[in-house]
Chain A
């Protein structure tokens, strides 16, 4: 228990270290979620525009 507590408090710096890691990974996760959602939305729109299959060639 003491070791877990020592790890979480980080010698008194826990209140700075944990938010730093949380912000970093929250921003990265948000970028990933946003980019994937945009890709799926665009791919869906493209499929609806091309009823003849997902990779309808048209050149």
Chain B
């Protein structure tokens, strides 16, 4: 694990695993789509609308998981000054924002036929909206300062402070009255959802996680190339070879 903290080794490792992860993403999402849309049964209360679950729930898991990963990477960056941790956090943020947007839109499209409304200001929906704004704030802060080290530190602090929101989202359905249904998969007493729905759900979750990994590897590679460009330009501008890793 610590060997991968070296950017060059990380690049080699990323290049090797990328085709495999991409294959898993396509296969798992393909199977999840076929089973979720054709083979899985309609819900006894919600009818066919339950099929929205197969994109909504895995997106929400990704939105929370990616934010947690950004918070952990930000902690590693602030405490141990791992530059790659900062690169990873920055590369992951727009992907997390994308999954949060999917969660909000698909949730709204599921809420209308199920609850009769596109939106309610209850604990679950509001806390996920706050998560979306935390992502946007993080991305904005990354681009706010001229000095990349300063914006990296400020954004890392925001990511850590904003992490309080993650457990609030997870348990909001238990702590407050809400229209949102409680957890049926990630529970202390095991899933309460039937296997015919759990299988496409887990397939889509696997596909989304693999797709996230593909995007992350591409974005980290891009960021490392950008870092090399910055270093080269500094040298060419005559700043000397020691201001390399800004």
Contact = CB atoms under 8 A, between A and B. Distances in A.
B65 interface: no
Contact of B52 (A7, A20, A38, A46): A20
B215 A31 contact: yes
B215 A39 contact: no
Contacts, number: 91
Interface size class of B (residues with CB under 8 A): 35 or more
B218 interface: yes
B135 to A, nearest CB: 13
Interface size class of A (residues with CB under 8 A): 20 to 34
B20 to A, nearest CB: 17
Contact of A13 (B101, B113, B215): B113
B49 A16 contact: yes
Contact of A49 (B42, B106, B109, B236): B236
A31 B33 CA distance: 20
A53 interface: no
A21 B211 CA distance: 16
A16 B215 contact: no
Interface in B45-61: 47-49, 51-52, 55-56, 59
Find the residue from A28, A32, A34 having the highest chain B CB count within 10 A.
A28
Interface string A3-36: 0000100111110110111011001101110111
Contact of A20 (B33, B42, B56, B236): B56
Interface stretch (B77-85, B171-179, B189-197, B219-227): B219-227
A5 to B, nearest CB: 13
A42 B221 CA distance: 10
A33 B99 CA distance: 16
B215 A35 contact: yes
B106 A20 contact: yes
A47 B13 CA distance: 22
B105 interface: yes
Contacts of A36: 218
11 contacts: A17-B49, A17-B51, A21-B33, A21-B37, A21-B55, A24-B59, A27-B101, A28-B211, A31-B95, A32-B215, A32-B218
Interface of A: 7, 10-14, 16-17, 19-21, 23-24, 27-28, 30-32, 34-36, 38-39, 42-43, 45-46, 49-50, 58
